[in-house]
Amino acid sequence: MFTRTIGRSNLPVSAVGMGCWAIGGPWWKGTTPVGWSQVDDAESVRAIHRAIELGVNFFDTADVYGCGHSERIVGQAIAGKRNQLVIATKFGQMFDEATKQGTGVNVTPTYIKQACDASLRRLNIDAIDLYQLHVKEVDAEHAVVVRETLEELVSAGKIRWYGWSTDEAASARIFAAGKHCAAIQVRFNIFEGNADTLRVCEEQNLAAIIRSPLAMGLLTGKFDKTTKFPADDVRSGRYDFGGKHAGEIDKLAKIRGILTRDGRSLAQAALGWLWARSEKTIPIPGFKTVAQVAENAGALQFGALRAEQMREITGLLP
C-alpha cells in the first residue's frame, strides 16, 4: 500500500484520504449554498466502508459540513473500525443543525473546547487524530492563542495533533511553531495553489493535506462548457464553464493525453500529479458514491506521475 506520514506525528496513512464535505449534504450561509446538493446517507456509509476495504485509512471532515451531518455519518460508518483509522475534523465555523445554516465564526478558547467535545460526540470517538482550524482569517496574535488552546486539548487527551486549513504561508508558520502541529490543509491542484505555503510544509516537516485536489470535480473530466450545477450545490455560484472558467476546460483538454497515457483515469492522474509535486502531499478528494471512492482509491496502484509527465505538463501549463 502506498502510504505517507502526517508530518511530525509519524502517523502512517494511505497516500490518499477521503474528504467528507460532500456527504454532509446541503447547507447554507444565508441564501448561498455551501454544501454539495442532496446525498444518500446509506450510500455514504457504503462508500466509507468500501474505501476502508481498498486500504484507505484517512478520513477528513469538519463539524460544519452539513451542519454536523457529515461528522454523524462518519461516526456511524467507522463504528467498530476506529482503531485502524486516522480521523481528522475541523472547528471554528458556528452553525445551526436544525436550520442547516452557518452562523459565523468563533475561535475563542471556550468555544474551541466546546466544539471539540461536540465533534467527539458526533463522531463517537474518544480522541481526534488531527484537529484543524477552519477559519482562514485569524490575526497573528490570536492565532497563537488558538495554537496554545490546541496544545491544551492535546494535554487533555482529546486531540492528538492539530493543523490549520489555510492557504497563507505566514499563517502556516505560526502554527508550525507549535509542538503538536502536524499538518496544514491547503487548496492545491494542477490549476491552482500557493507554492509558498506548500514550501512551509516541506521546510517544517508538516503534511500538506490537499483539499480540492480534483478542482471540485473539474479534473475528473466529466464537465464541459454546458455543465450547470443544482441551486443547492456550492459549485453553482463558483463555476461558469461556458464563461469565465471556459479556459480551464481548454487547459484540461491540452494535458489530458499526458495525464492518462499510462492507463490512469483523469482523476487518478490528478492525484498522481500532487504526489509527484511534493512528498508531503496527501490529497483528500471528495465523494458521494462507492464508484467515486473506488476510482480515487485506485490511484494508489499507480502512485506519482513520472518525471517526464510532470515536465510535459509544466511545458504546456507553466
Please state, in angstroms and rounded to a whole number, the distance separating the CA atoms of residues 318 and 313.
Answer: 8
Query: For residue 152, which amino acid is it?
Result: E
Q: How do residues 280-293 score in pLDDT, each as one tens digit?
A: 999 999 999 999 99
Residue 213, class by beta-carbon neighbours within 10 Å (0-12 exposed, 13-18 middle, 19+ buried)?
A: buried
pLDDT band of 13, cuts 50, 70, 90: very high
Q: Mind listing the pLDDT tens digit for each residue in 75-92?
A: 999 999 999 999 999 999
Dihedral of CA atoms 16, 93, 218, 239 in degrees, nearest 10, equals -170
Q: DSSP 3-state assignment of 183? A: strand
Strand 192-193 relative to strand 159-165, pairing? unpaired
pTM, entire model: 0.97
CA distances from 60 to 66, 74, 85, 107, 317 (A): 14, 9, 11, 20, 30
Taking only the tens place, the pLDDT of each residue in 89-112 is 999 999 999 999 999 999 999 999
Q: Is there a contact between 95 and 102 (Cβ–Cβ < 8 Å)?
A: yes
Over residues 33-63, the pLDDT tens digits come to 999 999 999 999 999 999 999 999 999 999 9
Supply the pLDDT for residue 171: 98
The residue behind cell 464541459 is: 224
Please give the pLDDT value at position 10.
87
**Which of 79-93, 151-165, 233-247 is least confident?**
233-247
CA gap 33, 64 in Å, rounded: 13
CATH 3.40.50.150 fits 3-217+265-306, yes or no: no
User: What is the structure's pLDDT at 237?
Assistant: 85
Residue with cell 490512469: 264
% of the chain at pLDDT higher than 70: 100
- pLDDT reading at 1 higher than 80: no
Taking Cα atoms as reference points, which of 39, 35, 78 lies closest to residue 56?
A: 78
Q: What is the mean pLDDT of the chain?
A: 97
Q: What is the pLDDT of residue 142?
A: 98
What does the alpha-carbon distance between residue 45 and residue 254 come to, in Å, rounded to a whole number? Answer: 37
Full DSSP string of 74-140: HHHHHTTTGGG-EEEEEE-EEEETTTTEEEEE---HHHHHHHHHHHHHHHT-S-EEEEEE--S---H
Q: Is the pLDDT of residue 264 over 90?
A: yes
Is 244's pLDDT higher than 90? no
**Does residue 29 surpass a pLDDT of 90?**
yes
The phi and psi torsions of 8 (rounded to 5 degrees) equal -65, -15
> What is the separation of C-alpha 138 from the centre of its chain, rounded to a whole number of angstroms?
20
Confidence at residue 242, expressed as pLDDT on a 0 to 100 scale = 86
**What pLDDT score does 266 carry?**
98
> What average pLDDT does this structure show over 193-211?
98
Domain-wise residue ranges, the chain: 3-217+265-306
Q: How far is CA 109 from the centre of its chain?
A: 24
Q: In one letter, which amino acid is 289?
A: T
Integer CA distances (angstroms), 87 to 37, 44, 126, in order: 24, 16, 11
Task: Report d(CA 248, CA 282) in Å as an integer.
Answer: 23
Asked whether the predicted pLDDT for residue 194 surpasses 80, the reply is yes
* Percent of all residues in the chain with a pLDDT value above 90, rounded to a whole number: 96
CA-based nearest residue to 246, from 266, 262, 226, 220? 226
Q: What is the predicted pLDDT for the residue at 52?
A: 98
DSSP assignment of 272-297, as one string? HHHHHH-TTEEE--B-SSHHHHHHHH
Nearest to 69 by CA among 36, 106, 111, 97: 97
Question: What mean pLDDT do residues 172-177 have?
Answer: 98
